[in-house]
Amino acid sequence: LHLLSRRQRQMCIRDRFVILCSDGISDSVSNERILEIFNLEKTAEDAGKRLIDEAVASQYSDNATIMIIKLRR
């Protein structure tokens, strides 16, 4: 899993997901923490829910929106 911040990167064969999130998540949850959550949770859905929960708990004033696209091989 690689994280991007408003830049382009070529996809890697090991990539499992494309994660699109609003600044309500990316500004309140560090890239390292996002990676940690995706490695700890059993499903992408669980990771997404946890990311939203952490963003909301941080009381960041913006919205917290995430889209997780699972890649097929």
Q: pTM here?
A: 0.77
pLDDT at 57 over 70: yes
Q: For residue range 2-56, list pLDDT tens digits in order.
A: 555 555 667 777 778 888 888 889 889 988 899 899 899 999 999 999 999 999 9
Predicted pLDDT of residue 45: 95
- Token output for 46: 């669980």
Extract long-range pairs of 7-14: CB within 8 Å, 24+ residues apart.
11/71, 13/73
